Amino acid sequence: MPRKKTTRGRPKAKRTYQRRAVASRQQTAASKQPPAGSWKLEAGSRGPIRRVKGMHDILPKDQKYFELIKFMALKHFRLNGFERIDVPTIEYASLFSKGTGKDTDIVQKEMYYLASNDEEKEPMALRPEATPGIARAYVEHGMLNLPQPMMLYYVAPMFRRENPQKGRMREFWQFGVEVLGTSNPSSDAQVIKMAWDILEDLGLKDLTLEINSLGCRNDQNNMREILISYFEKKKQYLCEDCKRRLTVNPFRILDCKEEKCKRIAEDAPQIIDHLCAHCRNDFKKALEMLDELSIPYDINTRLVRGLDYYSKTVFEITPAKDKSRQGTIIGGGRYDYLIEMYGGREAGAVGWAGGIERLMLALKEQKIEVEDPYKPRVFLAQLGEQAKKKSFSLLNELQKEGIGVRAALSKDSLRSQLRLANKFKVELTLILGQKEVQDKTIIVRDMKEGIQEIVALDKTLEYIKGKLK
């Protein structure tokens, strides 16, 4: 009977496992509140272990996109003189509640908190974004006293407990830049230009740049009053969250995802109509520089970016067909008060972040082919022990020349090797058998023409280079 057989297959281990599981459950039930730091490992569900919800693997078939995006970003970061910074994955949670904003979805609903223990009393969190950590590092390491501005870049994974959907993962990769220590609007144009160049170099078409200004602290304080008096009149139509936001932070109502709130927000007064002369002038200068750089933009007065630290210029880049803005691939703006908030002096800053997974989707949607510079062009087939040995040095020579070459030294059958050569779609197949080793020759088959030639072994490299031109 099949069932009996299975039990006989692994009876002992399974029984111990179950017993442990029961014991552990009883223990947990007995001491309802396990003491901090002593984690109980529950037996978990049966069957294979799967990845955690919202986490994802980046498989070899997608790595060509992943690598290309990182490569292109790095190229423009370095060309523009930006330096790399790596900040920790774990920070004190207060860094984000202070900077990103305690009323934002990111901090309220999406942040992964780490249990505090005896050593660390203060709650910690997995970083949902990099900007606060970088601004903290800038202050903490006294970078304020170095020649300004500091121009920094990063490529790193971030963590947000969002509802997983296409292009929106709970662990996701971002690449981005921060220019710290300047309020000059030319930096706004500089970072936008870099973002634009990276996306264009990747081959993306139909890009839309939307831009807005959120004004300085004074403008935002004035706007706060204006928004409160506007929303106060429509309070009864707002969602519960927004009723609370009304007094705490009326700006958050502008990016509420509830339909009824969206409709009310649509007719709300716009901050761009209430900018002071200085902010209006800075915004104008940034736009003029974009004109000079021939970067097309749309002023979107509804764009608020939804994080507390933003001031003045904010922007988003999307593939044009994506009207929902779910597909924003790069977004950022100015945060002139964050450094001061973290204990530094008042110092302007501007930056953006790009989502690598979303960019990968955009590349696939636009059917952009990624060329592999190391794709195999030659296959080396061998037959017999002597030939196998000789193949090693020949492979080595070809690789030294940067020629993509594949072989299957673990295979002995010529037919299965030739099948592989076809699969790789190589241009040339080399065949080295016992007879060829003895004659110091090699067979070169042109896969396209179907012609075979015998070449002297010590002339192989030259011959191949000539053929592959």
Rg (CA), the chain: 30
Closest residue by Cα to residue 397 from 447, 456, 465, 468: 465
Judge whether 162 and 54 are in contact, CB under 8 Å. Answer: yes
- Say whether residue 368 binds Zn ion (CB under 5 A): no
Select 258 or 340, whichever has its Cβ closest to Zn ion: 258
Select 238 or 295, whichever has its Cβ closest to Zn ion: 238
Measured from the CB of residue 282, what is the shortest distance to Zn ion in angstroms? 8
What is the Cα–Cα distance from 282 to 215, expressed in whole angstroms?
10
Measured from the CB of residue 241, what is the shortest distance to Zn ion in angstroms? 5
Name the packing angle between helices 2-9 and 11-30 (round to 10°): 70
Name residues contacting Zn ion, limited to 141-200 (CB under 5 A). none
- Say whether residue 103 binds Zn ion (CB under 5 A): no
**Which member of 93, 223, 242, 265 binds Zn ion (CB under 5 A)?**
242
Residue type present at position 112: Y
Select 49 or 277, whichever has its Cβ closest to Zn ion: 277
**Which member of 194, 279, 289, 339 binds Zn ion (CB under 5 A)?**
279
Cis omega (within 30 of 0) for bond into 149: yes
Measured from the CB of residue 240, what is the shortest distance to Zn ion in angstroms? 8
- Say whether residue 216 binds Zn ion (CB under 5 A): yes
Judge whether 447 and 429 are in contact, CB under 8 Å. Answer: yes
Closest residue by Cα to residue 168 from 7, 329, 44, 323: 329
Which tokens in the block code for residue 218?
């004074």
- Say whether residue 215 binds Zn ion (CB under 5 A): yes
Select 133 or 250, whichever has its Cβ closest to Zn ion: 250
**Which member of 256, 304, 360, 362 binds Zn ion (CB under 5 A)?**
256
Please give the angle made by the CA atoms of 211, 215 and 220, to the nearest 5 degrees. 130
Select 215 or 433, whichever has its Cβ closest to Zn ion: 215
Q: Which residues contact 122 (CB under 8 A, 6 or more apart)?
A: 92, 93, 94, 116
CA distances to 40, 240, 250, 264 from 225, in Å: 51, 20, 9, 17
Region from 72-80, 128-136, 275-283, 461-469 binding Zn ion, contact rule CB under 5 A: 275-283
Using CB under 5 A as the binding criterion, the count of chain residues that bind Zn ion stands at 10
Region from 2-10, 238-246, 422-430, 459-467 binding Zn ion, contact rule CB under 5 A: 238-246
- Say whether residue 276 binds Zn ion (CB under 5 A): yes
Select 240 or 449, whichever has its Cβ closest to Zn ion: 240
- Say whether residue 126 binds Zn ion (CB under 5 A): no
Region from 59-67, 158-166, 259-267, 387-395 binding Zn ion, contact rule CB under 5 A: 259-267
Measured from the CB of residue 19, what is the shortest distance to Zn ion in angstroms? 51
Give the H or E element holding residue 151: strand 150-159
- Say whether residue 255 binds Zn ion (CB under 5 A): no
Closest residue by Cα to residue 445 from 458, 432, 434: 432
Judge whether 400 and 442 are in contact, CB under 8 Å. Answer: no
Region from 157-165, 214-222, 359-367, 423-431 binding Zn ion, contact rule CB under 5 A: 214-222
According to DSSP, the β-strands at 171-180 and 150-159 are antiparallel
What is the Cα–Cα distance from 70 to 62, expressed in whole angstroms?
13
Eight-state DSSP code of residue 459: G
- Say whether residue 264 binds Zn ion (CB under 5 A): no
- Say whether residue 258 binds Zn ion (CB under 5 A): yes
Eight-state DSSP code of residue 146: S
What is the Cα–Cα distance from 294 to 207, expressed in whole angstroms?
13
- What are the start-end ranges of the H helices in 122-216? 131-140, 185-201
Measured from the CB of residue 256, what is the shortest distance to Zn ion in angstroms? 3
Measured from the CB of residue 175, what is the shortest distance to Zn ion in angstroms? 31
Select 183 or 318, whichever has its Cβ closest to Zn ion: 183
Which tokens in the block code for residue 274?
């209430």
- Say whether residue 261 binds Zn ion (CB under 5 A): yes
Select 265 or 421, whichever has its Cβ closest to Zn ion: 265
Measured from the CB of residue 212, what is the shortest distance to Zn ion in angstroms? 14
Select 153 or 310, whichever has its Cβ closest to Zn ion: 310
Measured from the CB of residue 213, what is the shortest distance to Zn ion in angstroms? 9
Eight-state DSSP code of residue 335: -
Which tokens in the block code for residue 276?
């002071």
Residue type present at position 324: S
Select 62 or 103, whichever has its Cβ closest to Zn ion: 103
Region from 120-128, 251-259, 334-342, 459-467 binding Zn ion, contact rule CB under 5 A: 251-259
- Say whether residue 219 binds Zn ion (CB under 5 A): yes
Select 116 or 270, whichever has its Cβ closest to Zn ion: 270
Select 208 or 311, whichever has its Cβ closest to Zn ion: 311
- Helix, strand, or coil here: 295? coil
- Helix, strand, or coil here: 106? helix
Binding site for Zn ion (CB under 5 A): 215-216, 219, 239, 242, 256, 258, 261, 276, 279
